Amino acid sequence: MLSAIDHVGVAVENIDAALGLYRDQLGMGLVHRETVTEQGVDAALLDVGDSHVELLAPLAPDTAVGKFLARRGAGLHHVAYRVESVQDMLDACAAAGLRLIDSQPRVGIRGSRVAFLHPASTGGVLTEIVQPAEEH
């Protein structure tokens, strides 16, 4: 059901500074930038093989990522697994008794359909499931 690690999400103070590390020093290709106002983040996607690193910088301190940075500092924020159907996987997770943040899929970065599972039922790991848009 989970076909790949789609990406790891990394909370950063500043996208451009983080690109200095991921693009310039580690050599990952930058493939996408987007401001996702609804989620309160500036985001960038970098390629690593068939997966991505998703850099997330908060648009304001009172956003989810802003609060994460204040509480824990910059670092790993979430892991996202790729699925063929986010709705089917969400149904399976609900049936398995997992607590969901999103009971319905919503639009994520680059036109994907995504949902988050609650870390309370995934061992403290904020876990996302992602159905990429068809062109990706």
List residues binding a copy of itself (CB under 8 A).
1-5, 7-8, 10, 12, 18, 21, 25-28, 48-51, 72-79, 81-82, 93, 96-98, 119, 121-126
* Shorter beta-carbon distance to a copy of itself: residue 103 or 123: 123
Between CA 11 and CA 72 the distance in angstroms is 10
Taking the complex as a whole, the smallest distance from the CB of residue 27 to a copy of itself amounts, in Å, to 5
Between CA 124 and CA 136 the distance in angstroms is 29
Taking the complex as a whole, the smallest distance from the CB of residue 88 to a copy of itself amounts, in Å, to 12
Between CA 65 and CA 61 the distance in angstroms is 8
* Shorter beta-carbon distance to a copy of itself: residue 37 or 88: 88
Q: Which whole-number Å values give the CA distances from 111 to 46, 69, 118, in the listed order?
A: 16, 26, 22
Taking the complex as a whole, the smallest distance from the CB of residue 104 to a copy of itself amounts, in Å, to 20
Q: Is 97 left (phi over 0), alpha (psi -120 to 50) or beta?
A: left
* Shorter beta-carbon distance to a copy of itself: residue 113 or 129: 129
